[in-house]
Structure 1
Amino acid sequence: MRMMDNAWASAQGQELPWAAAEYELLRDQVRRFVEEEIKPCADRWEEEGGIPRQVLRRMGELGFFGIRYPAEYGGAEMDAVASTVFAEELGRSTYGGAADAMLVNAEMASSYVFHDGTKSQRARWMPGIVSGEVITAIAITEPDAGSDVKAIRTRARRDGDSYVLDGTKLYITNGVCADLYCVAAKTDPAAGSNGITMFLVEKGTPGFSVARELDKLGWRSSDTAELVFDGCRIPAENVLGAEGQGFYSIMRNLQNERLVLAAMAIGMAEAAIDMTLTYVKTRRAFEGVLWDMQAIRQRLAMLSARVEASRAFLYATAWRMAADDDCMREISMLKAICGELVNEVVYACVQFHGAMGVMRESPIERISRDARVLSIAGGATEVMLEVVASMS
């Protein structure tokens, strides 16, 4: 566990709730997995554009896809703090694409199945999700509808005991590799927020196809796709939650998505600072090393302080979420702060690496590309700030 957490707890004569032994054990387990099974292989995943299925199944074996889910499905029955630990350590791997693909299955898409699914839907799908045999994706974003969920155009019309879906989804993580998709569509276009419904769509369903795999700036070890639904007929039993309640399901599940993305950003920022400290303390320039330059070490010191402060806010908020507190305002703040901060940190770290900072052989170059989307994915900074302002 972090030395600062333990030092603070010792000074206060008590243990920080998020520094408890069960979280420390999880952190150690994830960190070992990152060092032994992600870092040695992830450069190849970057080139191939995805993670091998055996790696995802291995994550299931280790319990990483069931952190928050009940034991009846093979889960560990932990809480939002554990999810935050998991996401922070995946962020520290420095491979944003792999981290995101793993988090989508563990924390983002699968949460719709668990929280909104019927008993039979959960019984059918959750064991495979937790084991890593079933990979999930969440399909909300469209060409003309990103953060503005109400603007989606994908339609679902009832036809007897089925629904027929027509529309396009864009920028979908795990869009190529997923087995099960949680899809948002309008069942009543005139009803506004009350006209959106979530559906479960299986890979291979007639009328559903992956139109193309998208080429991205960063996150290259995760696949991102455009999906097309053209007369895609699914049984009515595949409605996920109640008809017309999809918008509220999305807003509820987005809170956890934004929390883990903030944690991923913090982990990435920590890793960037660590590797930059190592670099500037050994890189010789002007008859010394870069660390001797006051401007560089003070800048890194300030960035480190801001990351630590944001991390404390992150875990305090995760603890509140674990206690079922309403913390939408705080999560929106976190998503805005952490998404912007990781980009500021990485910008400075690239600068201090000099020319090496823009070489593909340098990890900081990859981090600079992977960090960029963290101020966009899950809710752009500007949208998050509007949420905060509306609740102030």
Structure 2
Amino acid sequence: MNASYTAADSAELALFRDMTQRALAQEVTPYYDDWERAGIMPRTIWPTLGQAGMLCVDLPEQYGAAGAPFEVAQLVLGEMAQLGYGGLASSFNIHSNIVAPYILHRGTDAQKQHWLPKMVSGEVVGAIAMTEPGSGSDLAALRTRAVRDGDEWVLNGSKIFITNGLLADLVIVCASTDPAAGAKGISLFLVDASLPGFSRGKGISKIGQHCSDTAELFFDNLRLPADALLGEENHGFFYLMDELPRERLGCATQAIAATDGALALTLNYVLERKAFGQTVGSFQNTRFKLAEVKTQLELCRAYYQQCLHHYNHGTMTIEEAALLKLSATEMQCQAADQCLQLFGGYGYTTEYPISRFYVDARVQTIYAGTSEIMKEVIARPMLGR
């Protein structure tokens, strides 16, 4: 499905990197601390990012996007993560790298024409709603139901931990349309958040990624037109499996880029900070810890490049995506911990940005499939299951 993406050349990547860095420096950096304290980004940042050409960059040009290669979409995401803007990166990833591709790959022409240009411009913010309060990662246990009623669907249920939940205008909702079929009875729906019966809980307070708004969503006899169905009825689980490689690649992009950012901060610190009459960087323990972080980072980067190549050629498997997500996000958490340790007491203060890298990293091993789920995905084929 992804074979149409061609690798970006170095000049193209450099152009987009420069554009992204300038836009972030002007539109995000001066305000990001305020957004973190507020626990949400302003709604106006989305059209601002759209005007800067940063949203959904790899969508076809017919929808107002740049038609750029997949690597460019990951580059934009990585620049956010490297600067320590984990909340922005996660919200952006959901909107541009998850929701938009679902519509591009499974939507009708009418659905694409209606939603994608607005997502490119930032007029519409996207979210995807899978997780429920009682089921977590168990899609077979979904309690949200969609029942056909004439020319409409009636949606009832709730979702939790939904990134962009407070600001989303469009939510892809996973609902059971054939409860007896379990995971094979799931369908996806394009839900306009302005419809009667759609409501949101208050924002969920988190230990990290504060400005990425997260909420519980409720559907109370919400009536959807028949054409709100995304793809075919009862095929939702298969669509989710098809899109998982891209979603987990995005997590790895954030992990590797954020570790680059955390390591750069740490190197600057240990070369300047003095203890016992010498720089912290002159201690053998510091050198060894930095070497360990660098080694694991580069190993993950090498596997990431291999997976990226496979993705571009349409051959990346679910197992490879799980291996990448598990290794990269676990590496990120360990690296952030080691880097923060080298800051000593200062690392535990919000005054030093390394603390944000630390708390923002933690959720990476949870969303998009926990590390435990990744291990199951990896182990089952090994055992012939």
Fold match by TM threshold 0.5:
yes
Aligned with 2:237 (options 233, 238, 247): 247
Q: Is the 8 A contact 1:167 1:230 kept in 2?
A: yes
Q: Is the 8 A contact 1:84 1:315 kept in 2?
A: no
Q: Is the 8 A contact 1:358 1:365 kept in 2?
A: yes
CA–CA distance in structure 2, aligned partners of residues 105 and 137 of structure 1: 6
CA–CA distance in structure 2, aligned partners of residues 363 and 91 of structure 1: 12
Q: Deviations over 1:187-237 (max 9, x none)?
A: 110012221000111112111100221111111011100011111111111
Residue range with higher mean Cα deviation, 25-34 or 295-304? 25-34
Structure 1 residue 166 and structure 2 residue 153: aligned? no
Residue 260 of structure 2: aligned partner: 270
Aligned with 1:211 (options 201, 208, 213): 201
Q: Is the 8 A contact 1:259 1:331 kept in 2?
A: yes
Structure 1 residue 108 and structure 2 residue 70: aligned? no
Residue 77 of structure 2: aligned partner: 87
Aligned with 1:178 (options 158, 168, 172): 168
Residue 223 of structure 1: aligned partner: 213
Q: Which aligned pairs between 1:4-83 and structure 2 lie closer than 5 A?
A: 20-83=10-73
Shift of 1:71: 0.6
CA–CA distance in structure 1, aligned partners of residues 66 and 362 of structure 2: 32
Residue 116 of structure 2: aligned partner: 126
Residue 308 of structure 1: aligned partner: 298
Q: Deviations over 1:36-61 (max 9, x none)?
A: 32222110111122222332112112
CA–CA distance in structure 1, aligned partners of residues 68 and 207 of structure 2: 34
Residue 180 of structure 2: aligned partner: 190
Q: Deviations over 1:257-306 (max 9, x none)?
A: 11011100111111111101111111110111101101111210221122
Q: Is the 8 A contact 2:81 2:258 kept in 1?
A: yes
Residue range with higher mean Cα deviation, 52-61 or 240-249? 52-61
Residue range with higher mean Cα deviation, 33-42 or 168-177? 33-42
Taking structure 1 as the reference length, what is the TM-score of the superposition? 0.93
Q: Which aligned pairs between 1:317-328 and structure 2 lie closer than 5 A?
A: 317-328=307-318
Residue range with higher mean Cα deviation, 124-133 or 302-311? 302-311
Shift of 1:335: 0.3
Q: Is the 8 A contact 2:8 2:69 kept in 1?
A: no
Residue range with higher mean Cα deviation, 236-245 or 323-332? 323-332
Structure 1 residue 332 and structure 2 residue 332: aligned? no
CA–CA distance in structure 1, aligned partners of residues 69 and 299 of structure 2: 22
Structure 1 residue 375 and structure 2 residue 365: aligned? yes
CA–CA distance in structure 1, aligned partners of residues 314 and 90 of structure 2: 25
Taking structure 2 as the reference length, what is the TM-score of the superposition? 0.94
What SS is found at the alignment partner of 1:213?
A: coil
Taking only aligned residues, the RMSD between alpha carbons, in angstroms, comes to 1.4
Q: Is the 8 A contact 2:340 2:348 kept in 1?
A: yes
CA–CA distance in structure 2, aligned partners of residues 74 and 282 of structure 1: 47
Shift of 1:18: 6.1
CA–CA distance in structure 2, aligned partners of residues 202 and 90 of structure 1: 28
CA–CA distance in structure 2, aligned partners of residues 115 and 253 of structure 1: 9
What SS is found at the alignment partner of 1:273?
A: helix
Residue 14 of structure 1: aligned partner: none
Q: Deviations over 1:114-140 (max 9, x none)?
A: 211111010111110111111000011
What SS is found at the alignment partner of 2:156?
A: strand
Partner AA of 2:323 in structure 1: M
Q: Is the 8 A contact 2:39 2:205 kept in 1?
A: no
Residue 9 of structure 1: aligned partner: none
Q: Is the 8 A contact 2:56 2:100 kept in 1?
A: no
CA–CA distance in structure 1, aligned partners of residues 97 and 179 of structure 2: 29
CA–CA distance in structure 2, aligned partners of residues 311 and 85 of structure 1: 14
Residue 12 of structure 1: aligned partner: none
Q: Deviations over 1:299-349 (max 9, x none)?
A: 102211221221122122112211211332221111001110011011111
CA–CA distance in structure 1, aligned partners of residues 188 and 284 of structure 2: 55
Residue 237 of structure 1: aligned partner: 227
Partner AA of 1:89 in structure 2: E
Partner AA of 2:198 in structure 1: F
What SS is found at the alignment partner of 1:212?
A: coil
Residue 285 of structure 1: aligned partner: 275
Residue 335 of structure 2: aligned partner: 345
Shift of 1:23: 2.0
CA–CA distance in structure 1, aligned partners of residues 72 and 306 of structure 2: 13
Note closer, same or farther for the CA distance 1:382–1:81 as it changes in structure 2 (3 Å cut). Answer: same
Shift of 1:384: 1.1
Shift of 1:109: 1.7
Partner AA of 1:381 in structure 2: S
CA–CA distance in structure 2, aligned partners of residues 328 and 205 of structure 1: 35
Q: Is the 8 A contact 2:307 2:316 kept in 1?
A: no
Partner AA of 1:184 in structure 2: C
Shift of 1:19: 5.9
What SS is found at the alignment partner of 2:212?
A: coil
Aligned with 2:129 (options 139, 155, 164): 139
What SS is found at the alignment partner of 2:336?
A: helix
Q: Is the 8 A contact 1:65 1:106 kept in 2?
A: yes
CA–CA distance in structure 2, aligned partners of residues 147 and 80 of structure 1: 27
Shift of 1:78: 2.5
Unaligned 5+ runs, structure 2: 1-6
Residue range with higher mean Cα deviation, 224-233 or 245-254? 245-254
Shift of 1:35: 2.8
Unaligned 5+ runs, structure 1: 1-16
CA–CA distance in structure 2, aligned partners of residues 83 and 327 of structure 1: 20
